[in-house]
Structure 1
């Protein structure tokens, strides 16, 4: 068994900071933006519903914000772990036939990946997870398919991707999963 552990540079990521820091900062700042959006439309989601998921009946904005930021942090770290894997990073850095995407650079690709990630979070957690909770007789306390929730998750993901691209240097020459297919032609 090897004692060496994988580093971000093993996956085409480098710089003085890494995917862990980029995911953490992007996740917390993204959840701040999302929380602000929630606070404008329905502050009880932050003060009551989010702590209520864990059985905490506080009604406290501080506790709700802490839980919300913790969610953003964990989901940001998961994003960093996902996009730093060789197959995903290779896909993000692959050459495309779309001139607009080619000229935009990797930062835009990370923003788009973040938005897709935010959409996936929205689909899995509030939409599917909320329906599961309702089916077992528990009211999650939030509307599963609300426009504000979708917009907040998309904003969270886009900001997460943008900040991730700031803190992580990605090399466009990472091996792509399509390289083998190109060699077979």
Structure 2
């Protein structure tokens, strides 16, 4: 009589330091990107568009900043979950690899203002909603660079503080 033993892959866990790295990296990246949004981007995204997503009539710069920081923290935690449970965990744990992944995550998150934000703003009846898809030069290029500026601290923070 033979018995079969199946090897189960080890279940990965995310430790507190990794979640915190996503939160802190998301906060730092959001501040950097927020400064780009406030002082470089021509449209009033922080003052008008982001608050409007939540039904807040603008201009509402403080609300825009707080919501933008919240978005950044959430996306920082999403990054941690993606790399921790996905095939890129080892790459994400090295500084060089994390910078590359940060650039990639910045490119991916640019899809939010291109595809999601116009639909969301239209759904809430914001008169200044951009067209779908929201692709405009130089605005989309600046947004892309801002999202990369956001995502690199998230990725590097994860690499520095992940638990093995």
TM-score (norm. length: structure 2): 0.75
Of residues 131, 140, 143 in structure 1, which corresponds to 2:129? 140
Cα offset, 1:110, TM superposition: 1.2
Question: When the two structures are aligned, how many residues end up with a matched partner?
Answer: 146
Q: Distance in 1 between matches of 2:32 and 2:67?
A: 14
Q: Structure 1: which 5+ residue stretches go unaligned?
A: 10-16, 94-104, 172-185
* Contact 1:119–1:153 (Cα < 8 Å) also in 2: yes
Q: Structure 2: which 5+ residue stretches go unaligned?
A: 1-10
The runs of at least 4 aligned residues of structure 1 exceeding 3 Å deviation read: 130-139
SS in 1 for 2:88: helix
Q: What do residues 26-70 of structure 1 show as CA deviations (whole Å, max 9, x unaligned)?
A: 111101000000111237211111111111113122111000000
1:30 aligns with 29
Matched, 1:129 2:116: yes
Q: Where do 1:34-183 residues align within 5 Å? A: 34-42=33-41, 44-85=44-85, 87-90=87-90, 92=91, 106-123=94-111, 125-130=112-117, 132=119, 139-141=128-130, 144-145=134-135, 146-169=140-163, 171=164
Q: Aligned in 2, Cα 1:60/1:135: closer, same or farther, shift over 3 Å?
A: closer
Q: Name the Cα RMSD after superposition.
A: 2.8
Cα offset, 1:167, TM superposition: 2.2
Matched, 1:7 2:13: yes
Q: Distance in 2 between matches of 1:61 and 1:134?
A: 17
SS in 1 for 2:44: helix
Q: Distance in 2 between matches of 1:167 and 1:121?
A: 22
